[in-house]
Amino acid sequence: MPAMPERAGSPSPAPPLLTTLKGVGPKLAERLHRLGLRTVEDVLLHLPLRYQDRTRVIPIGQLRPGEEAQIEAEITRAEVTTRGRRFLLCHLSDGAGALTLRFFHFSPAQEQLFGQPGARLRCFGEVRSGYTGGLEMIHPECRRIDPDSPPVTDRLTPVYPTTAGLQQFTLRGLAEQALALLDTATLLPELLPQALRARLHLMSIAEAVRGLHQPPADTALAELDSGRHPARRRLAFEELLAHQLSLRRLRARVRRQAAPPLAGEGGLSGRFMERLPFTLTGAQRRVLAEIGTDLAQPRPMLRLLQGDVGSGKTVVAAAAALRAVETGAQAALMAPTELLAEQHYRNFRDWLEPLGVEVAWLTGRLTGRARRTLLERLASSAVHVAVGTHALFQDAVVFAELALAIVDEQHRFGVHQRLALREKGQRGGRCPHQLIMTATPIPRTLAMSAYADLDTSIIDELPPGRRPVKTVVVPDSRRDEVSARIRQACRAGRQAYWVCPLIDESEALQCQAAVVTAEQLTALLPELRVGLVHGRLPAAAKEAVMAAFKAGALDLLVATTVIEVGVDVPNASLMIIENAERLGLAQLHQLRGRVGRGTMESSCVLLYRPPLSQVAHARLGVLRQCHDGFEIARRDLELRGPGEVLGTRQTGEQTLRIADLLRDQDLLNAVRHTADELLRDHPETVEPLIRRWIGGGARYGEV
């Protein structure tokens, strides 16, 4: 890891650690860490999931089953039943109505408390209809009250996200302590300038935090629960702003570095184009020109290349790589899986070696002599283009002069990996150009916030002759019909995929195992050559199967979603996807993109297991009608949220704590403008904002 530039002297002291709160020892601190809480500020920013209304006492006669409510009543009688399961029943009356408390676990102290007829209790819990027809509460929170007891609270009671062994009352107590410290100016200082807050109608951070932890009784619960409450939006705004600033700062730092200008005379690229069996589409030429302009600059390119499945991003990547090679430098292409890396390697080798360009392949599997030799060749410039998995950015890998780093299907990689590759080529203050390609189109607002460090190029045109993949939605009871379809396609000399979402029956609840499916299909279609590929096969076996399929030596390939991205076998014209109702739209679209890559008619059968809910039906319907990846991504975003669309769920990358890119989309424009303004007029706020929200854990935003 290269040395990091010195941080400017921090304008605000670090927020106090959790252990400064009363009652927090090492054990509790450990549990709180599990929730991501390390400082007192973190406690304040750990917002309730929902609220309970304990501001009112409801007469028993007005209770409705299913509601959470607070009651006050007198004990009339208690009993411990020992028939069957042992439990404690405590009968209560508030004069007008009766209710029973039921406990399956109880302490001697509780037994004693409830065994006092005439004692008054205040209870909070969910009301349900009891076994005998009356109303019940199971394991309510109870306390004994007398005439001197404090009145009910005038605040809504927060319910926090928690973890095993951490009780709500502990979290509530900590939040209370932290809120009391809010008045001491050093905790959670206001970082947004007053004028800006006034203009955007943003309350102060202290007011927002207080309002969310201890909302007054008259706060609209619906607004709180939907996340649209102004206090929550105030925090969401600041969080989005911090992320925006961190990416922008990252960009600024990278752009300040020098990069090798790649402006060769273009001979290699020219010959490459001439030899291609097709001509580039207008969109491919346009993005290549955009990339070319960037590469010619003495500053690192930071560009995101978006394009629908099958729009031809790989060839653009290869042409870009040649720009580096033409000036005597190197390029690297990183793919998220071995399968893809292997395929890119073959493509690049077939395209580039006839031009005298040395292409090498590096994966984690390469060991011993072969690996050492390859590393030497990379370090000595004998290899011009390296293709591989993330093995490319291990420490031992040194490039002689890496001028361009290309990352394919980037959403599988986290921002951190993106940074690591960027650092790879950093030598003597020089930084490689970077091109990121996404497999799945990303809706514009989302791209502008999640990739604020990148410029964007879009291939918005498919190669000519492509026909939309005919998509049908079929219950899996009609498998026979489906196998007849496969037989027909293969007889016509085509090939087919059969995709099963999970590998192994043990981990599958309903998903059919690829292994079993392959056996069944082999039995069912004895005349076909059936292959099987899944993530747990040894890499060599995987490759052998893929190569056989590509060469036409297999008719039907049964696979898990390992073939989701990038796999390119133009002769395949039929795809069956099992348990389609379990996959996201963008993922289905991506899978479907494995067919329809040639000019022949292709189809995709989405098999589902009935019954299919209305929503699921509508979701699959989107795929039947829609063939535009951007549109599908937009719908997917609505249906499943940004974590899935951006792939942050898969990479486990730090996600937003309070904001929600979908719900808070309408803030994103203001966030971007505010970021400009702060960078220009209040640069001193940038570092503390990033530190507050992104923290020391993430190197996100630092280079």
Q: Which residues bind ligand ADP (CB under 6 A)?
A: 278, 280-281, 284, 307, 309-315, 463, 566, 568, 570, 597
Q: Tell me which of ligand ADP, Mg ion, none is bound by residue 281, counting a contact when its beta carbon lies within the kind-specific cut-off of 5 to 8 angstroms.
A: ligand ADP
CB of 33 to ligand ADP, least distance (A): 41
CB of 567 to ligand ADP, least distance (A): 9
| Alpha-carbon gap, residue 62 to 97, rounded angstroms | 9
C-alpha distances in angstroms, 231 versus 205, 277, 654, 661? 8, 59, 23, 17
Q: Tell me which of Mg ion, ligand ADP, none is bound by residue 223, counting a contact when its beta carbon lies within the kind-specific cut-off of 5 to 8 angstroms.
A: none
Q: Which is nearer to Mg ion, 441 or 566 (CB)?
A: 566
**What tokens does 690 get?**
């990033």
Q: Which is nearer to ligand ADP, 385 or 503 (CB)?
A: 385
CB of 278 to Mg ion, least distance (A): 16
- Among candidate residues 131, 170, 190, 176, the one with its CA nearest the CA of residue 11: 190
The single-letter DSSP state of residue 478 is G
Q: Which residues contact 183 (CB under 8 A, 6 or more apart)?
A: none
Question: Buried b / exposed e across 367-378, counting CB within 10 Å, b at 16+?
Answer: eeeebeebbebb
Q: Tell me which of Mg ion, ligand ADP, none is bound by residue 517, counting a contact when its beta carbon lies within the kind-specific cut-off of 5 to 8 angstroms.
A: none
The separation between CA 508 and the C-alpha centre of its own chain, rounded to angstroms, equals: 22
The single-letter DSSP state of residue 655 is -
Q: Tell me which of Mg ion, ligand ADP, none is bound by residue 310, counting a contact when its beta carbon lies within the kind-specific cut-off of 5 to 8 angstroms.
A: ligand ADP
Q: Which is nearer to ligand ADP, 101 or 436 (CB)?
A: 436
Q: Tell me which of Mg ion, ligand ADP, none is bound by residue 561, counting a contact when its beta carbon lies within the kind-specific cut-off of 5 to 8 angstroms.
A: none
Q: Which residues contact 316 (CB under 8 A, 6 or more apart)?
A: 284, 287, 288, 291, 305, 459
| Alpha-carbon gap, residue 255 to 21, rounded angstroms | 43
Q: Which is nearer to ligand ADP, 496 or 667 (CB)?
A: 496
- From start to end of 371-441, where are the E strands? 385-388, 402-407, 433-437
Instruction: Please report which residue ranges of 123-193 form alpha helices under DSSP H.
Output: 168-181
Q: Across-strand partners of 531?
A: 557
CB of 304 to Mg ion, least distance (A): 14
Q: Tell me which of ligand ADP, Mg ion, none is bound by residue 280, counting a contact when its beta carbon lies within the kind-specific cut-off of 5 to 8 angstroms.
A: ligand ADP
CB of 458 to ligand ADP, least distance (A): 12
- From start to end of 57-119, where are the E strands? 68-81, 87-93, 98-103
CB of 592 to ligand ADP, least distance (A): 12
Q: Tell me which of ligand ADP, Mg ion, none is bound by residue 463, counting a contact when its beta carbon lies within the kind-specific cut-off of 5 to 8 angstroms.
A: ligand ADP
Task: Looking at residues 542 to 581 of the shown chain, list those that interact with Mg ion (rule: CB under 5 A).
Answer: 566
The answer to whether the Cα torsion of 51, 52, 55, 58 is positive or negative is positive
Q: Tell me which of Mg ion, ligand ADP, none is bound by residue 158, counting a contact when its beta carbon lies within the kind-specific cut-off of 5 to 8 angstroms.
A: none
Q: Which is nearer to Mg ion, 432 or 593 (CB)?
A: 593
CB of 313 to Mg ion, least distance (A): 5
Binding residue count for Mg ion, defined by CB under 5 A: 1
Under the binding rule (CB under 5 A), the answer on residue 307 touching Mg ion is: no
Question: DSSP labels for 487-504?
Answer: HHHHHTT-EEEEE-SBS-
Q: Answer whether 305's CB lies under 8 Å from 313's CB.
A: yes
Q: Which is nearer to Mg ion, 283 or 375 (CB)?
A: 283
Q: Tell me which of ligand ADP, Mg ion, none is bound by residue 423, counting a contact when its beta carbon lies within the kind-specific cut-off of 5 to 8 angstroms.
A: none
| Alpha-carbon gap, residue 147 to 57, rounded angstroms | 15
In the complex, residue closest to ligand ADP by CB: 312
- Among candidate residues 145, 134, 114, the one with its CA nearest the CA of residue 60: 134
Q: Tell me which of Mg ion, ligand ADP, none is bound by residue 307, counting a contact when its beta carbon lies within the kind-specific cut-off of 5 to 8 angstroms.
A: ligand ADP
CB of 322 to ligand ADP, least distance (A): 15
| Alpha-carbon gap, residue 569 to 595, rounded angstroms | 8
- Amino acid (1-letter code) at residue 365: R
Q: Which is nearer to Mg ion, 238 or 308 (CB)?
A: 308
Q: Which is nearer to ligand ADP, 48 or 566 (CB)?
A: 566
Q: Which is nearer to ligand ADP, 316 or 667 (CB)?
A: 316
CB of 466 to ligand ADP, least distance (A): 8
CB of 345 to ligand ADP, least distance (A): 14
C-alpha distances in angstroms, 291 versus 296, 318, 495? 9, 12, 36
Contact residues for Mg ion (CB under 5 A)?
A: 566
